[in-house]
Amino acid sequence: MSQKPIAFVIGGNRGIGLAIAQSLQKAGHDVVVTYRTGSAPAGFKSVQMDVTSTESVDAGFASIEEQWGMPEIIVANAGITKDGLVMRMSDEDFESVIDANLTGAFRVARRATKGLLKLKRGRLIFVGSVVGALGSAGQVNYSSSKSGLVGMARSFARELGSRGITANVIAPGFVETDMTATLDEKRRNEIAASVPLGRFCSAEEIADVVTFVASPQASYISGALIPVDGGLGMGH
């Protein structure tokens, strides 16, 4: 069993999730990441998990608890996009994104609660998005899923707070990713110009905020929507 606090990063095999896993590991946590397909990143404990399946979520947690102990920091980062104009968005396009991004986060947090209640402490950290508050043309499904995380986290915060468990949402803005790297320079400049700080966010900047929220210094922060968006969503 691990002697360090265990941090469980769902969707921690690449991008923002991998940066979060690396930051938490650097801060001294024993980090376990999930992967759905392919292989896990080197240097981390890992379990295979599909957040759209309750059975898969339950099996993933059972594997962690059996091998290393109960995770006390849960980062729900798994998510998908299926962008499209609303008139052309199918029920499946909408429902599949909600299932992965919102219901998937619920499945993870619900299962995590069993262990956190026994520990009488813990952190539930949901990775949302600035579009959860602002909305985004062509992303009715994605924006709805990220908006829903706020109500979910605040409900968990109220229900579990007396047991020493906090729940918060981190809301990134435009982030440097493999996808944004393929944009042409004109479009990148247009996006950056819409951000008061005039640039994209790095995955590491998001990861550092997650690591702070997971730390003892953030023990009195709960039910918060914490923007990491360069001022893009201010006022919401």
Taking CA atoms, 114 is separated from 65, 101, 139, in Å, by 11, 21, 33
Instruction: Please name the helix (run of DSSP H) or strand (run of DSSP E) that holds residue 45, with its range, or none.
Output: strand 45-48
- Indicate which residue of 142, 156, 174, 200 is catalytic: 142
Q: Is 142 a catalytic residue?
A: yes
Distance from C-alpha of 217 to C-alpha of 6, rounded to nearest angstrom: 17
Distance from C-alpha of 108 to C-alpha of 77, rounded to nearest angstrom: 10
Is the distance from CB of 24 to CB of 73 less than 8 angstroms?
yes
Instruction: Tell me the sheet residues that pair with 48.
Output: 35
Residue 29, classed as helix, strand or coil, is coil
Residue type, 201: C
Is the distance from CB of 24 to CB of 30 less than 8 angstroms?
no
Distance from C-alpha of 132 to C-alpha of 123, rounded to nearest angstrom: 21
Active site residues: 142
